[in-house]
Amino acid sequence: MQNNLLQTPIEYLKGVGPARGELLRKELGIYKYEDLLNFYPNRYIDRTRYYKINELQPNNADVQVIGKIINIKTVEQKRGKRLVATFVDDTGQMELVWFQGHKWIRESLHLNAIIVIFGKATSFNGVFNMAHPEIELLAEHEKSLRSAMQPVYPSTETLTNRGISNRTINKLMQQLFTETQALFSETLPEYLINELKLIPKNAALFNIHFPKSADVLAKAQFRLKFEELFFIQLQLITKNLIRKHKIKGHPFTKVGAYFNNFFENYLPFDLTNAQKRVLKEIRNDMGQAAQMNRLLQGDVGSGKTIVALMSMLLALDNGFQACLMAPTEILANQHFRGLTELAKDLNINIKILTGSTKTSDRKIIHEELENGSLHIIIGTHALLEDKVKFQNLGLAVIDEQHRFGVEQRSKLWHKNEIPPHVLVMTATPIPRTLAMSLYGDLDISVIDELPPGRKPIQTVHRFDSNRLKVWKFIKDEIAKGRQIYIVYPLIQESEKMDFKDLMDGYESISRDFPLPEYAISIVHGKMKPTDKDAEMERFSKGKTNIMVATTVIEVGVNIPNASVMIIESAERFGLSQLHQLRGRVGRGAEQSYCILMTSHKLSNDSKTRMETMVRTNDGFEIAEVDLKLRGPGDLMGTQQSGVLNLQIADIVRDRDILLLARNHAVKILKADAPLQKPENANLRAVFIAQSKKKNIWNYIS
C-alpha cells in the first residue's frame, strides 16, 4: 500500500531538506524513503537501564543518566576552547564536555531542566565526564518511539562532522514511520510465512529499527535476512530456468570417432570417479537442445584439462568447433602444449592465438576458423576480436573465468547464431555458500579427487631465522635432480618495493647458489612476454634449477620435476593464493614440499592462514576458512568486489538461512515457474520490481 509513498525523494521527509538530502545521498546512498527504511542498524545498545552518578564505572561503556545541568562555562586550552557543563543528580556530579560546535550546543542547553544524557563515561582525576553526550528532555524522552534496544546506524566521518549523528538518523526514522503509518506491503506469500513462522513485513521493519527486546529483534532479523537471500535465489534460479527453456543450444547427440578413439586408445591414465561423473553431467547437458552453462570446479592438478578436451571432442564429433580462452599468455601456451600433447595421435588441427601471434600466422588462423578446417583454437582475449569468426562454434571453455568481465564473455556468444555451450573452469575452490550466491545461475560440477599416484604436498611453516636449514634442504633436493620455485609477493600499490624485494632476494640466492654449480631463472611482471616465456622455457627444460618469480606463476604452470615451492613473506598472501601457488608443485610422482617463510611478527589472521595451509590440502576447506577471514567481497578479486552488497544478510554467518532460502525458491519455482498462481501474487510483484532494478545483477556473473 505504501509503495508509492516510499518512492518519495528523501529531501521531502520532514527534518531532511536539500542540504541534508545531498549528504545522505552522497555518504549513505539514501535517495528515497525506501532507501532509508532499508538502512538497517549494525548494532544495538541496551537502554533499559538508567545509572546514578555514584554507580558509574570507568569501563568506557555507553550509559544513560537522568539529572540536570547547573552550570556552563568555556575553558581555554592549548588549541582552541572546550565547553564544559556541570551535570548533577541526587548522588553526585560530573562534567559534560564539547570540543566543537559550541555556539549551537550552548543555545540548546537549558539550565535546571530535567534531562537524560547518554554517552561514554570516562574518569579523569576522580571526576567522571562525558564527551559530546546525546541530550534529551525527560518529557520528550518518554514520549518518543524509543525502544529498549537503541539502534546504532552505520555512519561516516563527514556525516558526524556535519552534525548528522546517530540520534539524527533515529529521529528521521521515527518521522518516516509516522508519515507512512508503518503500513508496508507484504512481500512474501502467506503459505511461506506460515510454514516458516515468519513475522509479518510491517512488524519486521518496525522491530529492526525500534526493537522492544532482544527476542523480537532476532525474529525481525531472521525475517529480513531470509527475504533478502530468498529474492536473490529466486532471480538466479529463474535466470537458469529461462536459459534452459529459451536459449537454444546445439544438441550434441553423437558420441563419435574422436571421443571414442581417444577414450579407448589414447587416455594417458584411468579417469577418476569424479572425472567420470563430471563428464557424464557435461554430456547430458550438451545432449539437450538448450545451451549448457556449467561451472567446473576442481582443485589444482585434479585433471580438469582432460575433461575439457573430451568435452571438445564431443563438439568435433557433432561437426562443431571448440575454443578455450585463458586469462594470460603463459596459461594459454600451457593449455596449448598440454592439449596438443594429449591429442597428438587424433589428427586434429589445434592452434593458438594470443597478442604475440605473428600477423602472417593470424591470417591463416582467421581463414581456417572461417572455413572450418581449424578444429580447436586456444587463446587469450585475442579470441574476442571482431576479426575472429568461426564457421560453427559449438563449445567455449573459459579458464579462471572470474578474470573476464561479463561483456567480454558475451562477445563470444555473439560469434554464432545459436550460442555455444559454455564450460567455465576454475581451480579457485569456491565455498558452496558463495557458489550458490555468485554462480547460482550456473550448474556446478566438482572434481573432488586427485588422480591416483599423486602424493599430497607436505607443507611447513618456517621463520626467517631458519633460513640456513631451508637452504640446506633445497641443496639436497637439487642434488636429487629436482627443481625449486621461490616466489615473492607482488602487491600492485608498492611495485617499486616489491621489485626491490625480488631483486634483493635474487642477489642473495645467486650468492648462496653460485654458478656453475647452480643456474637460476627469474620471472617478473616488468619483463617482456618473450623474455618471460624464454625464462620459463629454460626452467621447464631443466636448464635452470631455481625459478625466482613474483606471482605471475600462480596459475597454470606445469613442471612435473619441480618439487619444492618456497613462498617468501607468506603472510602477505591470501589463503587462496597460497593454495594456488602450492599447486604448482606435486605434479610428478615424487614427494613435493611447500615451505611458507614469514617473519616472527604475525597477526592472528596470518597465523590462522599458516596453520590452515599446514593442516590441509583440501581446497574447499581452505576456501571456507578464507571466506570467514576475508568476507565475500574480497574473495572474488577486484572485478567482483561489488559482490553481494547485501543490506542485512551475511552469506558467511547466515549460511543456514541461505540454504533454506534456496530450497524454498527451488520448490516454489518448480510448482509455479512464472509465479502466476494467485497465492504468489506478492512474489511476482516484488520479482518484477527487482528485475527492473539493475542492482540485483551486480552480483551475478
Mean pLDDT check: name the lowest of 11-25, 140-154, 551-565, 648-662. Answer: 551-565
Mean pLDDT, residues 428-449: 77
Mean pLDDT, residues 206-215: 90
Using CA atoms, how far apart are residues 254 and 249, in angstroms rounded to an integer?
A: 15
Q: What are phi and psi of 364, to 5 degrees?
A: -65, -45
Q: How confident is the model at residue 4 (pLDDT cuts 50, 70, 90)?
A: confident
Angle between helices 681-692 and 214-246 (to 10 degrees): 70
More confident residue, 586 or 20: 20
Q: How confident is the model at residue 631 (pLDDT cuts 50, 70, 90)?
A: low
Instruction: Evaluate if residue 406 carries a pLDDT over 70.
Output: no
Do residues 524 and 505 touch, judged by C-beta distance below 8 A?
no
Residue 248 gets which letter from DSSP?
B
Contacts of 271 (CB under 8 A, 6+ apart): 279, 303, 306
Mean pLDDT, residues 618-643: 63
Sign of dihedral through CA atoms 295, 346, 374, 558?
positive
Instruction: Evaluate if residue 697 carries a pLDDT over 50.
Output: no
Instruction: Evaluate if residue 123 carries a pLDDT over 60.
Output: yes
Q: Model confidence over 167-190: pLDDT tens digits?
A: 899 999 999 999 998 889 999 999
Q: How confident is the model at residue 101 (pLDDT cuts 50, 70, 90)?
A: confident
What pLDDT is recorded for position 129?
92
| 434 CA to centre of own chain | 8
Beta strand extents in 452-592 (DSSP E only): 458-463, 483-487, 520-523, 546-549, 562-567
What pLDDT is recorded for position 634?
46
Instruction: Evaluate if residue 110 carries a pLDDT over 70.
Output: yes
C-alpha cell at 216: 523480537
Q: How confident is the model at residue 405 (pLDDT cuts 50, 70, 90)?
A: low
Mean pLDDT, residues 533-538: 86
Instruction: Evaluate if residue 408 carries a pLDDT over 70.
Output: no
Using CA atoms, how far apart are residues 620 and 12, in angstroms rounded to an integer?
A: 50
What pLDDT is recorded for position 643?
45
Which is nearest to 482 in space by CA: 544, 572, 538? Answer: 544
Do residues 425 and 298 touch, judged by C-beta distance below 8 A?
yes
Beta strand extents in 400-526 (DSSP E only): 421-426, 443-447, 458-463, 483-487, 520-523
What pLDDT is recorded for position 407?
63
Which is nearest to 433 in space by CA: 636, 270, 612? Answer: 636
- List beta partners, residue 73: 84
What pLDDT is recorded for position 552?
65
Using CA atoms, how far apart are residues 212 and 95, in angstroms rounded to an integer?
A: 31
Give residue 400's region: left, alpha or beta (phi > 0; psi -120 to 50). left
Mean pLDDT, residues 193-203: 96
What pLDDT is recorded for position 640?
37
What pLDDT is recorded for position 404?
60
Residue 9 gets which letter from DSSP?
B
Do residues 58 and 129 touch, judged by C-beta distance below 8 A?
no
- List beta partners, residue 65: 51, 117
C-alpha cell at 125: 582525576
What pLDDT is recorded for position 464?
92
Instruction: Evaluate if residue 641 carries a pLDDT over 50.
Output: no
DSSP conformation letters of 50-102:
-B-GGG--SS--EEEEEEEEEEEEEEE-SSSEEEEEEEEETTEEEEEEESS-H
Using CA atoms, how far apart are residues 156 and 679, in angstroms rounded to an integer?
A: 43
Which of 103-107, 526-530, 693-697 has maximum average pLDDT?
A: 103-107
Using CA atoms, how far apart are residues 263 and 429, in angstroms rounded to an integer?
A: 27
Mean pLDDT check: name the lowest of 9-13, 111-115, 123-127, 455-459. Answer: 123-127
More confident residue, 660 or 248: 660
Mean pLDDT, residues 310-314: 97
Mean pLDDT, residues 235-242: 85
User: Exposed (0-12), middle (13-18) or buried (19+): which is 429, by Cβ within 10 Å?
Assistant: buried
Do residues 46 and 34 touch, judged by C-beta distance below 8 A?
no
What pLDDT is recorded for position 2?
53
What pLDDT is recorded for position 501?
80
pTM for the predicted model, two decimal places: 0.65
C-alpha cell at 417: 547464431
Instruction: Evaluate if residue 146 carries a pLDDT over 80.
Output: no
Do residues 248 and 288 touch, judged by C-beta distance below 8 A?
no
Do residues 97 and 82 touch, judged by C-beta distance below 8 A?
yes
Which is nearest to 564 in space by CA: 475, 490, 499? Answer: 475
What pLDDT is recorded for position 378?
97
What pLDDT is recorded for position 638?
32
Give residue 427's region: left, alpha or beta (phi > 0; psi -120 to 50). alpha
Q: What are phi and psi of 428, to 5 degrees?
A: -90, 105
Instruction: Evaluate if residue 350 carries a pLDDT over 70.
Output: yes
Q: Model confidence over 46-62: pLDDT tens digits?
A: 777 889 999 988 776 78
Using CA atoms, how far apart are residues 372 and 391, in angstroms rounded to an integer?
A: 5
Using CA atoms, how far apart are residues 395 and 584, in angstroms rounded to an integer?
A: 28
More confident residue, 332 or 588: 332
Mean pLDDT, residues 563-578: 91
Q: Model confidence over 495-522: pLDDT tens digits?
A: 666 777 888 889 999 999 999 999 999 9
More confident residue, 212 or 86: 86
Q: How confident is the model at residue 587 (pLDDT cuts 50, 70, 90)?
A: confident
What pLDDT is recorded for position 533?
81
Task: Report the percent of the chain where pLDDT is more than 90.
Answer: 53
Q: Which residues of 296-317 are buried (b: 16+ CB within 10 A; e: fewer)?
A: bbbbbbbbbbbbbbbbbbbbbb
Mean pLDDT, residues 78-85: 88
Q: Which residues of 571-605 are buried (b: 16+ CB within 10 A; e: fewer)?
A: bbbbbbbbbbbbbbbbbbebebbbbbbbeeebeee
Do residues 566 and 595 touch, judged by C-beta distance below 8 A?
yes
What pLDDT is recorded for position 30?
95
Instruction: Evaluate if residue 695 carries a pLDDT over 60.
Output: no
Mean pLDDT, residues 192-219: 93
Do residues 399 and 331 touch, judged by C-beta distance below 8 A?
yes
What pLDDT is recorded for position 598?
95
Q: What is the mean pLDDT of the chain?
A: 87
C-alpha cell at 77: 586550552
Instruction: Evaluate if residue 492 carries a pLDDT over 60.
Output: no
Mean pLDDT, residues 395-409: 72
C-alpha cell at 60: 568506557
| 182 CA to centre of own chain | 35
Q: Model confidence over 272-283: pLDDT tens digits?
A: 999 999 999 999
Q: How confident is the model at residue 373 (pLDDT cuts 50, 70, 90)?
A: very high
Residue 577 gets which letter from DSSP?
H
